[in-house]
Amino acid sequence: MLLAALAAASATALIAPAAATAAPGTADATATVAPAVLDAPAPPTARTTDPAGTRTEWPETLGLPKAWAERVILRDRPDLEIVHVPEGALVTMEYNEKRVRIVHNAFGLVTRVPAVG
């Protein structure tokens, strides 16, 4: 119970909500706000693309809840299939260019950089 509360607190501390961007006077001013990290670009030093310029890794999702990581990946590459894998689970070794595995811990936080394969 204490561990679950600690994990929830640390997950919310990692991600600061973005400010609302709706223009004053519009009907959408009270819409829910997505975390700023969902719109954040990859770190500039990380190689996250193949030679053709297509995204192949998402290091900015490390430590995020698995559902948010999935949204970030599908925003960049909607053609990919997302597979959620618990940390330590056995997986097959074949390479699939249309699959990304999101490895997460018991609290649902991403523990390994998701990559195509």
DSSP string, the chain: -HHHHHHHHHHHHH-PBPPP-PPTT-GGGG----BGGGGPPPPTTS--B-TTS-B-B-GGGTTSBHHHHHHHHHHH-TTSEEEEEETT--------TTEEEEEE-TTSBB-S--BB-
For residue 108, the model assigns a pLDDT of: 95
Q: How confident is the model over 99-104, as a mean pLDDT?
A: 96
Q: 40: domain CATH number?
A: 3.30.10.10
What's the total number of domains in the chain? 1
Neighbouring CB atoms inside 10 A of 58's CB total: 25
Q: Give a yes or no: residue 115 inside a domain.
A: no
Report the pLDDT value the prediction gives residue 72, as an integer from 0 to 100: 94
Is residue 115 within 8 A of residue 98, CB to CB? The reply is: no
Rounded to whole angstroms, how far apart are CA atoms 49 and 10? 30
Asked whether residue 61 is assigned to any structural domain, the reply reads yes
Q: What pLDDT was estimated at residue 53? A: 82
C-alpha span between 55 and 50 (Å, rounded): 7
Q: What is the pLDDT of residues 28-54, one digit of tens each?
A: 544 455 566 566 665 555 567 878 888
Res 52: pLDDT: 81
Q: Express each pLDDT in 51-89 by its tens digit.
A: 888 889 999 999 999 999 999 999 999 999 999 999 999
In a domain, 55, yes or no: yes
What residues are paired with 84 via a beta bridge? 102
Tell me if 110 is assigned to some domain: no
Asked if the structure places residue 67 within a domain, the reply is yes
Look at residue 16 in the predicted model and tell me its pLDDT: 43
Report yes or no on 30 lying in a domain. no
C-alpha 11, offset from chain centre: 12
For residue 65, the enclosing domain spans 2-17+36-104
Find tokens 């204490």 and name the residue.
2
Q: Is residue 6 part of a domain?
A: yes
Instruction: Name the pTM for this structure.
Output: 0.61
Segment 81-104 shows an average pLDDT of 95
